[in-house]
Amino acid sequence: MDQQNPPNAPPADITIKAEDEVAKGRFSNLAQVGSSFDSFVLDFAFVQGRAGWLLSRILLSPAHAKRFHAALGETLARHEARFGPIEPPPTIQ
């Protein structure tokens, strides 16, 4: 068995393509997370005043959600080590 690429790992030389509009990115100031037995749903929205727009909905398996959680935690820790603590924003009611 190949020790460098576990059976469920993506190939090391994977190429991700994106349309120009997707590659530009979108700014989100609200995220909601929901889950069921077999999936997690991440909704990213932009809210201005009393109006909001759903920008993207991402569906993840529980295993991928767990990996995403770990990757985000590690990235936040590195960011705070480099730039200082991140203060949480006010909660939208």
Distance between CA atoms of 32 and 81, rounded to whole angstroms?
26
Any domain includes 19: no
Q: Using only the alpha carbons of the chain, give its radius of gyration.
A: 17
Any domain includes 11: no
What is the secondary structure of 25-39 as a DSSP string?
A: ----SEEEEEE-SS-
Any domain includes 76: yes
Any domain includes 89: no
Q: What pLDDT, on a 0 to 100 scale, did the predictor assign at position 5?
A: 59
Number of domains in the chain: 1
pLDDT in tens, 29-72: 999 999 999 999 999 999 999 999 999 999 999 999 999 999 99
Any domain includes 47: yes
Tokens standing for 37? 């037995």
For residue 66, the enclosing domain spans 28-83
pTM of the model: 0.76
Any domain includes 65: yes
